[in-house]
Amino acid sequence: TQLLEQSPQFLSIQEGENLTVYCNSSSVFSSLQWYRQEPGEGPVLLVTVVTGGEVKKLKRLTFQFGDARKDSSLHITAAQPGDTGLYLCAGARLAGYALNFGKGTSLLVTP
Amino acid sequence: NAGVTQTPKFRILKIGQSMTLQCTQDMNHNYMYWYRQDPGMGLKLIYYSVGAGITDKGEVPNGYNVSRSTTEDFPLRLELAAPSQTSVYFCASSYPAGAGALTDTQYFGPGTRLTVL
């Protein structure tokens, strides 16, 4: 059973376009994290959202945690080729315990 | 400060062989984890440890064993390799954010790509 569903699974866009990736669950999480993974490397944390309704910005990336803490979204403005990678959302029930990962969204940004 | 290191980077095993995947972290983290990542399937937790001498099963522990004799090391053992264990294995570590905190950051190693033929 997949606790976190990510959509879309694949996304191919041109440089300069905007995009949104979704992470949905029927479960409540104490926090939700977004990771980016490049080929041949491990995931690297982008952001953690903790409070329902929270919005965090990281340069051109905007992350939002749903009010009920069951879902999250990642919005990228004016995508660049350097944004290419696998974006993973992961929910934590409690701090320090293992994360439940979504299957990921593979993003390709072409010049 | 190397973070989380894993060896080997690549390995090919024959069915029935055994091997140990090594994981070491130099951040003095209490918590360590082993995940496997299959194409299009995200990361699945195999085992985790909340401190030296303490380990527990994750979502997919069958066919694997772990030990945690030191804070730094968390090796993963495959006793009888099977084709279903072909995957990329990631080790991660974290330090609990403290009493009352809701989350912490997990730091991942570069992974070990294992093929079982």
Chain A hits for B33, CB-CB cut-off 8 Å, are 98
Report the half-sphere exposure of B58 (CA within 13 A, side-chain side).
24
- Does pLDDT of A78 surpass 60? yes
Tell me, yes or no, if B42 comes closer than 8 A to chain A by beta carbon: yes
Task: Please give the DSSP secondary-structure letter assigned to residue A30.
Answer: S
Contact A33, A90 (CB under 8 A): yes
Strand ranges inside chain A, DSSP E: 5-7, 10-14, 19-24, 31-37, 44-49, 55-58, 61-65, 71-76, 85-92, 100-101, 105-110
Distance from the A45 Cα atom to the nearest Cα atom in chain B, whole angstroms: 7
CA distances from A92 to B17, B26, B41, B44, B108 (A): 35, 24, 18, 14, 16
Q: Nearest-CA residue of chain A relative to B6?
A: A42
Position B100 scores a pLDDT of 53
Q: Is the dihedral of CA A24, A28, A33, A36 positive or negative?
A: negative
Q: Nearest-CA residue of chain A relative to B33?
A: A98
Average pLDDT over residues A51-58: 94
Average pLDDT over residues A56-81: 96
Could you report the per-residue pLDDT of B48-63, keeping only the tens digit for each?
998 999 999 998 999 9
Average pLDDT over residues B31-59: 91
Say how far apart CA B3 and CA B8 lie, in whole Å: 16
- Does pLDDT of B101 surpass 60? no
The chain-wide mean pLDDT, for chain B, equals 91
Tell me, yes or no, if B92 comes closer than 8 A to chain A by beta carbon: yes
Contact B114, B11 (CB under 8 A): yes
Of B31, B102, B111, the CB nearest to A42: B111
Position B97 scores a pLDDT of 65
Say how far apart CA B8 and CA B78 lie, in whole Å: 14
Q: Which band of pLDDT confidence, cut at 50, 70 and 90, is reported for residue A99? A: confident
Kindly determine whether residue A41 and residue B42, on different chains, have CB atoms separated by under 8 Å.
no
Torsion of CA A59, A111, A75, A49, to 10 degrees: -50
Retrieve residue B98's tokens. 């403290």
Say how far apart CA B54 and CA B31 lie, in whole Å: 10
Position B40 scores a pLDDT of 77
- Choice between A50 and A79, residue whose per-residue pLDDT is larger: A79
Who's near A7: CB < 8 A, 6+ residues apart? A21, A22, A24, A105
Comparing CA positions, the residue from A73, A66, A79 lying closest to residue A14 is A79
- Does pLDDT of A95 surpass 60? no
To the nearest whole percent, how much of chain A has pLDDT over 70? 94
Place of tokens 């390995």: B11
Of B48, B103, B110, the CB nearest to A95: B103
- Does pLDDT of A79 surpass 60? yes
Kindly determine whether residue B104 and residue A43, on different chains, have CB atoms separated by under 8 Å.
no
Chain A hits for B40, CB-CB cut-off 8 Å, are 9, 103-104
Distance from the B113 Cα atom to the nearest Cα atom in chain A, whole angstroms: 9
- Does pLDDT of B99 surpass 60? no
Q: Which band of pLDDT confidence, cut at 50, 70 and 90, is reported for residue A16? A: very high
Q: Nearest-CA residue of chain A relative to B35?
A: A98
- Choice between B97 and B79, residue whose per-residue pLDDT is larger: B79
